[in-house]
Amino acid sequence: KALSVDNLFVFILVFSFFKVPRELHHKVLFYGIIGALVMRAIFIFAGVEIINLTYLPAFEIFGKSVQINIVMTLFGLFLVYAGIKSWGGGDDDEDQDFSETAGARLIKKLYKVSDNYDGDKFFTIQNGVKVATPLLVVVAVIEFTDVLFAVDSIPAIFAISKDPFILYTSNI
Find out whether 14 and 98 touch, Cβ atoms under 8 Å: yes
Say how far apart CA 7 and CA 158 lie, in whole Å. 21
pTM: 0.80
pLDDT for 54-86, tens place per residue? 999 999 999 999 999 998 898 888 878 878 887
90/134: higher pLDDT: 134
Q: What is the DSSP letter of 166?
A: H
pLDDT at res. 125:
94
24 contacts: CB under 8 Å, gap ≥ 6: 117, 120, 135
Find out whether 37 and 43 touch, Cβ atoms under 8 Å: no
pLDDT at res. 88:
73
Q: What's phi and psi for 61, nearest 5 deg?
A: -130, 125
pLDDT for 12-55, tens place per residue? 999 999 999 999 999 999 999 999 899 999 989 998 899 889 99
159/33: higher pLDDT: 33
Of the chain, the percentage scoring pLDDT greater than 70 comes to 93
125 contacts: CB under 8 Å, gap ≥ 6: 131
Q: Which amino acid is at 161?
A: S
- Strands (E) in 14-162, as ranges, are 59-61, 64-66, 123-126, 129-132
Give me the helices (H) in 70-116, please: 70-87, 102-110
pLDDT at res. 110:
95
Determine the length of the chain: 172
pLDDT tops 90 at residue 162: no
